[in-house]
Amino acid sequence: MTALGIDPVITETGTVLRLSGELDLATIADAEDALARTESEGRGGITLDLRYLAFIDSTGLRFILSAHARAVELDRPFAIIRASDAVHRVFVLTRLDERLPFEDAADPLPGVSDR
């Protein structure tokens, strides 16, 4: 039973990794595996879609920081689709909202109202 859902979606410009549920110490290994696969197999940019994320802890923040750092190093486009307000607060508290390339979703998911 994993509390984290990971759905890769291939788009014209790259891969969107849609994360849902809880990104924390208990689930981080799954997220790292999925990201490593996307980094090695996928082409183009990487987008982390956090809209369905219910919880993130410091391990999850580190995962996102590492993903960003690697993308910069490999010169691959990288973006993060903002999480819900409740989850995004963590990025504000840690001032990571100023450091990471957040963007609003271009295509709202069904069932997710755009703020």
Distance (Å, whole) CA 58 – CA 89: 13
Nearer to another protein, 14 or 60 (CB): 60
41 binds another protein (CB under 8 A): no
Kindly tell me the sign of the dihedral angle through the C-alpha atoms of 3, 28, 58, 94: negative
Among 45, 61, 76, 105, binds another protein (CB under 8 A): 61
**By C-alpha distance, which of 43, 37, 101 is closest to 76?**
43
98 binds another protein (CB under 8 A): yes
Task: Give the range of 9-17, 18-26, 32-40, 74-82 binding another protein by CB under 8 A.
Answer: 18-26
